[in-house]
Structure 1
């Protein structure tokens, strides 16, 4: 999946005129600040042509073949926005040191998502990637849209990187394919 920045929607906000909107090219004013919500994220996912559903907890979820990405607002006033990817690949507890070495490399070399392990009661180790920002006081619309798109692309990129590190075959065309039959069961 490749996201063309020009395909990111304006969501109906007026675009500044060429030259900054003021005589002499001065900026027309501060960029629009919004408090994002789930509807805005759904519009963005639609614009990016990503299939998505609302899960049983009310979070937007975009499913891919080997993972799913959740778009969540948390906090008493929904002031924290998180993009969290749950990867289906499982590891044994004995493999955890090797897996930790791999994700440490990823976390050192990339900004997002930050990836960590979760060990289930049955000893199965799975990976979770997460990026988050505080949005309760408002955030620049363009920054929010661009960051959300980049975080989504990075979640896909981690899956591809991990498959390469483990010597697994990569999806055709270098892109992970969105799932066709809805989200997978949560790990």
Structure 2
């Protein structure tokens, strides 16, 4: 799923300064806001992304194969993070190869920064993360655009890693299988 840049919502135009702007030009910078979960929910609604609130109170947008969380952390909820948890499991023996790929991704892209998490049973999973401090306020347009871009990048990483690892056939099913059907597991 990709996000069309034109689908990035506008939460309203800034109000013109006292006396207005001659010629109808831009009226000045957009407002500075302290973002909260309601604003992020409104953004996800406008982007037409399914989302829910999880047991910890974080907004979550699920995709096939991963989930993106929109979280506020800190005593004053001053840190905003967009974190993607990718479901695909890798064996510990493949970790070196995965780390090499993540180094490439992290060098060549701004976000999300992706890292591994190794579970006690030796299964390796990937997590992508982007963060900004919002407690003192942030330009509304910047927040909206950045959040949408971070979401799009989380989706883009999934597509990139599938391509780099040659997993497309695994995801689409084996050759000869009709689309939308899976082999019997009996």
Q: TM-score, length-normalised on structure 1?
A: 0.83
Aligned equivalents of 2:49, 2:29: Cα separation in 1 = 31
Task: Name the CA shift for 1:105/1:136 in 2 (closer, same or farther; >3 Å).
Answer: same
Offset of 1:16 from its aligned partner? 6.0
Structure with greater contact order relative to length (CA < 8 Å, sep ≥ 6): 1
Aligned equivalents of 2:86, 2:50: Cα separation in 1 = 17
Offset of 1:92 from its aligned partner? 1.4
Structure 2 spans left out of the alignment, 5+ residues: 173-186
Question: Which residue matches 1:33?
Answer: 32
Aligned equivalents of 1:61, 1:89: Cα separation in 2 = 18
Aligned equivalents of 1:15, 1:7: Cα separation in 2 = 19
Question: Which residue matches 1:152?
Answer: 151
Task: Name the CA shift for 1:14/1:31 in 2 (closer, same or farther; >3 Å).
Answer: closer
Ranges of 4+ aligned residues in structure 1 off by more than 6 Å = none
SS of equivalent residue, structure 2 residue 142: helix
Q: CA RMSD in A?
A: 1.9
Offset of 1:91 from its aligned partner? 1.0
Aligned equivalents of 1:45, 1:24: Cα separation in 2 = 34
Aligned equivalents of 2:129, 2:27: Cα separation in 1 = 35
Q: TM-score, length-normalised on structure 2?
A: 0.84
Offset of 1:5 from its aligned partner? 3.2
Offset of 1:15 from its aligned partner? 4.7
Question: Which residue matches 2:4?
Answer: 4
Task: Name the CA shift for 1:51/1:27 in 2 (closer, same or farther; >3 Å).
Answer: closer
Structure 1 spans left out of the alignment, 5+ residues: 173-187
In the alignment of these two chains, the number of paired residues is 168
Offset of 1:169 from its aligned partner? 1.1
Matched, 1:135 2:117: no
